[in-house]
Structures are given as structure tokens and as C-alpha cells.
């Protein structure tokens, strides 16, 4: 081997060592905890263990580690959009320019009291204050949006978490969280968008303890808890999701046969209420009594004073058509009624109120998974059980398209609409006004299990 060849081999080995050293050094740099990332290259600090960036329009993808914060583990992986703020609609809705197009953004995971639209002349308590705070706080030209699993709400608004600067793991510029922590908003327990659910729940709990914002005493002197009809003295005992059969004994049956560790929390007027867990999720089941006046009281108090987010009525109904047989399951799309309940409540002047579309979509998904046939349509919520003209139901069926009759849903939907909550109704056919077939009281109390299973999956 000549001297020249030996020198070349030595040079090659030296270059290989240099390259290996550079690779090790690069790996060490990438493992550092501090990286400076910004779409426009300004150097925003984000504490991460590894970072990859892809640029597209106004979006930057930052893949980061998870960090413990506020007692829970939150993903610090954000795909964010930097948007120009166009205007503030109210406390939980803004309009931004996204990809050159104006888009309405609904702040995900929160609810602020209503102050615009139907509530402009009669805003809900602390609604105006919440709206003004958002206008004052977001007076800059830019906001940053991050997203969760569900992208749109039932009104086709984009669901997003709003940040006042580039999202970071400290979350000190996380605007949704700020609104809850200062009492301008309540936590909304969304079934799908749960990235910050634990954080929001904890912030709401702290705001309640301090009586901040909307948690202070209402200027109208609204009564607190316990209410005249529900004896619970503490928030949190009643779950965010409540199933409401009319019969309190049916509530007892569901608690004892479907819930784990059910606890009886209400016995006033023997209107039993239980809270337990179903498949690990906290859920409440409580009787509503018969008729709109009764469910009107209980559902209003649950929504208003116990901060319940959604109520699913589960009850019996009489069929108006030959297509519906005994024990068939009916999902209510809307309730028609001659009742003046909604008009007296808040001046609502229509005779039909829609059920919550998102809840109904979930019911249909679950029904498909479980292989449970479900009929859908308009139902008649009647104020009276006995009528002089029995055949009057035929006119209501033909003119209003009602497929069955019950006595509560219209009032439940009216309260949900007025208080900006969610409600739907799942019914089991217990009798037929067409064929004259009927079920007995025991069957109505215990045999409607398909309806119960569907409702429990909404927890």
C-alpha cells in the first residue's frame, strides 16, 4: 500500500468522524427543551422536547410533549391559525378572516350568558359584561386559533380555542380559559371536544368558590339552592347530563339496574333523583312528573340553578299512526303544542320547538351501533290527557305531521331554548290511538330498556 493511498484512507476516516460528531451535535440540539418558533421568524419561546414545523397558509404545526398543568395532562400539540379579528359578536362568538374568508368562530368548551339576537332587549345576567370584556380584550388585530376533534357546531360555526398570542404550554394567553377563570363564562362539557375539559372544570370550580362574575348573586335576586323542589345544597352532586323519565319509579329502576354506585339525592314530593356512573361517566336520572307544568319546573331548576347542560326526556307516548307499534322507539325532532308555556316563559310565539340536533345525531349513531330501530318525527305535546273530541288527534296528525303524542317535551325544549341549553326526547310507544292497543303500568315502568340504553349513551 503506497503512502498516497494511506493518506487518503486517513482523510476518509477523519471526515467520517467529523460527520458523526456533527450528527451527535445536531441530535443534542434537537433534544433541548427550549426552541424558538414563530411563523414569521420572530422567535416565540415554546417549551417542548421535540419540534417539527410545517407551513401552510397561516398554519404552523408544532408537535410537542405533554405537560402536567392544573392537575391534569393536556396535549401541547397545536395546529394553529393566525387570523385577523373582524369583530366580536358576543361573549363566546367572534368573526375572523381565515384563509381570506370571513368565518364565524364559536369558542369551544365554554358558554357565556346571552346578550344579542333574541336577548338584545332582555340579556341574561352578566351577558353584557361578558360581551364587553371580550371586545375590550380582543382589541388587537390578530388572534390564534387551535382546534379539537369536532370542527363545527350545529349552526356551522367553526369551533376553536382562542389564544391572544402564539399558543404555549403555560397557557397564559389561552382566552377560553381566561373567560372561565374570571367568571365571564361557564364550562360546557362537550362530548367530543375534551382536550381541555379537566382544566375548564377546575377553573369553573374556582370561579364559583370566589363568586366571580356570573357566579355572584343575580341582580334580579334569583333564588339559590336548594330550590323549593330539589333538596340538593351543593353544586356538583347533579351531573351535567340528566335523564328525565316522567315516572320517579322509572328513575329508581334505571338507577338500580343501569348505574354504578347510584346515590339518591332528592326525595321532595317523592320525585326521586339519583346520580351514579354509566361506563365510567357521571350521569343523573330524575323524575319529572306528568305534564308541562311539572317538567317545566324541574327542568328549569336543573338548567338554571344546578348548571345542568343537557336533559334527555325518556318517556312513553301514544301512537298516531299504524306505522308505530307497541314498544317502538321514537326520537323527537320537534314538539308541536297548543300550549302557551313558551309564550308565557319568554314571548316565544311559535307552536313548534326543535330538539337539539347534535344530541339527536348522537342518538342515531348509537342506535345504528346497537342495531336499535328508531323512528323520527314531530310529536304532539298535549296539555290535556282527556279530550271531548277523541278523534281530534287525526286533524293534528294530518295538519302538523305529528306521529305520536305525549305531554312534556314542548316545555322541556322551551326551557332549553330560553336558557341556552340542550334537550331532546326519546319515547317508547306504550299505546296506540289508532289500534287501541295498550301496555300496563308495570311494563311502562320497567320494559322500555332500549330507550334507556340510548339515552344513557349521551352521558
Q: What is the CATH number of the domain that holds 80?
A: 2.40.50.90
Please check the confidence at residue 434 and state whether its pLDDT lies above 90. yes
Question: What pLDDT, on the 0 to 100 scale, is given for residue 20?
Answer: 66
How far apart CA 9 and CA 261 sit, in angstroms, is 76
Residues 270-302: b if buried by 16+ CB within 10 A, e if exposed: ebbbbbbebeeebbbbbbbbebbebbbbbbbbb
Question: pLDDT tens digit string along 330-355?
Answer: 999 999 999 999 999 999 999 999 99
Domain boundary pick from 215, 230, 262: 215
How far apart CA 372 and CA 370 sit, in angstroms, is 6
Domain boundary pick from 215, 249, 283: 215
Provide the pLDDT confidence category of residue 211 given band limits of 50, 70 and 90: confident
Tell whether 377 and 305 lie within a shared domain: yes
Tell whether 283 and 371 lie within a shared domain: yes
Please check the confidence at residue 49 and state whether its pLDDT lies above 50. no
Provide the pLDDT confidence category of residue 406 given band limits of 50, 70 and 90: very high
Strand-pairing partners, residue 242, are 284, 311
User: Which parts of 315-356 fold into alpha helices (H)?
Assistant: 341-346
Provide the pLDDT confidence category of residue 14 given band limits of 50, 70 and 90: low
Is 344 inside any structural domain?
Answer: yes
**Active-site position among 90, 247, 309, 431:** 431
Question: pLDDT tens digit string along 306-335?
Answer: 999 999 999 999 999 999 999 999 999 999
Tell whether 193 and 298 lie within a shared domain: no
Please check the confidence at residue 289 and state whether its pLDDT lies above 90. yes
What's the structural domain count of the chain?
2
Q: What are the cell numbers at 92?
A: 363566546
- Tell me, yes or no, if 153 is annotated catalytic: no
Is 33 inside any structural domain?
Answer: no
Question: pLDDT tens digit string along 129-170?
Answer: 999 999 999 977 799 999 999 999 988 999 999 999 889 888
Is 32 inside any structural domain?
Answer: no
Is 25 inside any structural domain?
Answer: no
Provide the pLDDT confidence category of residue 364 given band limits of 50, 70 and 90: very high
Query: What domain range includes position 286?
Result: 241-456
Question: pLDDT tens digit string along 58-89?
Answer: 443 333 323 333 333 333 445 788 999 999 99
Is 9 inside any structural domain?
Answer: no
How far apart CA 180 and CA 183 sit, in angstroms, is 5
Domain boundary pick from 199, 215, 231: 215
Is 158 inside any structural domain?
Answer: yes
Is 6 inside any structural domain?
Answer: no
> Measured between alpha carbons, how far is residue 4 from residues 8, 255, 296 in Å?
6, 89, 98
Q: What is the CATH number of the domain that holds 433?
A: 3.40.50.1580
Question: What pLDDT, on the 0 to 100 scale, is given for residue 13?
Answer: 59
Tell whether 179 and 290 lie within a shared domain: no
Tell whether 323 and 185 lie within a shared domain: no
How far apart CA 312 and CA 425 sit, in angstroms, is 5
Tell whether 210 and 245 lie within a shared domain: no
Provide the pLDDT confidence category of residue 192 given band limits of 50, 70 and 90: confident
Lowest mean pLDDT among 237-241, 277-281, 322-326, 439-443: 439-443
How far apart CA 420 and CA 422 sit, in angstroms, is 7
Contact 403/377 with Cβ under 8 angstroms? yes
Question: What pLDDT, on the 0 to 100 scale, is given for residue 160?
Answer: 94
Tell whether 314 and 419 lie within a shared domain: yes
Is 152 inside any structural domain?
Answer: yes
Tell whether 206 and 279 lie within a shared domain: no
Please check the confidence at residue 47 and state whether its pLDDT lies above 60. no
Residue 16 CB neighbours (<10 A): 10
Amino acid at each position: 500500500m503506497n503512502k498516497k493511498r494511506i493518506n487518503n484512507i486517513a482523510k476518509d476516516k477523519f471526515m467520517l468522524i467529523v460527520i458523526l460528531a456533527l450528527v451527535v451535535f445536531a441530535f443534542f440540539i434537537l433534544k433541548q427543551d427550549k426552541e424558538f418558533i414563530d411563523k414569521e421568524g420572530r422567535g416565540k419561546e415554546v417549551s417542548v422536547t421535540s419540534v417539527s414545523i410545517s407551513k401552510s397558509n397561516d398554519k404552523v404545526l408544532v408537535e410537542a410533549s405533554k405537560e402536567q398543568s392544573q392537575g391534569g395532562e393536556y396535549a401541547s400539540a397545536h395546529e394553529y391559525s393566525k387570523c385577523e379579528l373582524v369583530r366580536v359578536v358576543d361573549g363566546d362568538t367572534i368573526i375572523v378572516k381565515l384563509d381570506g374568508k370571513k368565518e364565524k368562530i364559536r369558542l369551544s368548551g365554554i358558554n357565556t350568558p346571552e346578550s344579542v339576537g333574541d336577548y338584545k332587549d332582555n340579556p341574561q345576567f352578566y351577558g353584557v359584561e361578558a360581551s364587553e370584556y371580550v371586545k375590550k380584550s380582543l382589541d388587537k388585530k390578530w388572534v390564534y386559533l387551535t382546534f379539537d376533534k369536532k370542527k363545527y357546531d350545529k349552526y356551522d360555526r367553526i369551533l376553536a380555542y382562542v389564544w391572544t398570542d402564539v399558543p404555549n404550554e403555560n397557557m397564559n394567553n389561552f382566552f377560553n380559559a381566561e373567560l372561565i377563570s374570571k367568571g365571564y363564562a361557564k364550562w360546557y362539557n362537550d362530548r367530543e371536544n375534551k382536550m381541555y375539559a379537566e382544566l375548564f372544570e377546575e377553573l369553573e370550580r374556582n370561579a364559583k368558590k370566589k363568586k366571580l362574575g356570573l357566579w355572584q348573586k343575580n341582580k334580579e335576586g334569583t333564588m339559590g339552592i336548594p330550590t323549593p323542589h330539589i333538596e340538593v345544597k351543593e353544586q356538583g352532586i347533579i351531573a351535567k347530563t340528566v335523564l328525565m323519565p316522567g315516572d320517579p319509579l322509572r328513575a329508581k329502576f334505571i338507577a338500580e339496574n343501569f348505574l354504578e354506585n347510584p346515590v339518591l339525592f332528592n326525595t321532595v314530593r317523592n320525585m326521586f333523583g339519583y346520580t351514579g356512573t354509566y361506563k365510567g361517566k357521571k350521569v343523573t336520572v330524575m323524575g319529572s312528573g306528568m305534564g308541562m307544568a311539572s317538567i317545566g319546573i324541574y327542568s328549569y331548576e336543573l338548567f338554571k340553578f344546578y348548571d345542568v347542560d343537557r336533559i334527555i326526556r325518556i318517556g312513553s307516548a301514544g301512537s298516531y299512526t299504524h306505522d308505530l307499534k307497541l314498544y317502538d322507539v321514537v326520537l323527537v325532532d320537534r314538539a308541536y303544542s297548543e300550549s302557551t308555556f313558551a309564550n308565557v316563559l319568554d314571548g316565544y310565539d311559535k307552536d313548534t320547538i326543535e330538539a337539539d340536533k347534535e344530541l339527536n345525531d348522537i342518538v342515531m349513531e348509537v342506535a345504528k351501533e346497537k342495531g336499535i330501530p328508531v323512528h323520527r318525527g314531530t310529536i304532539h305535546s298535549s296539555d290535556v290527557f282527556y279530550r271531548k273530541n277523541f278523534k281530534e288527534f287525526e286533524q293534528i296528525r294530518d295538519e302538523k305531521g305529528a306521529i305520536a303524542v305525549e305531554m312534556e317535551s314542548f316545555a322541556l325544549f322551551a326551557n332549553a331554548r330560553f336558557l341556552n341549553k340542550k334537550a331532546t326526547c326519546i319515547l317508547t310507544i306504550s299505546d296506540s290511538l289508532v289500534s287501541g292497543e295498550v301496555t300496563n303500568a308495570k311494563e311502562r315502568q320497567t320494559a322500555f330498556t332500549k330507550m334507556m340504553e340510548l339515552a344513557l349513551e349521551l352521558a
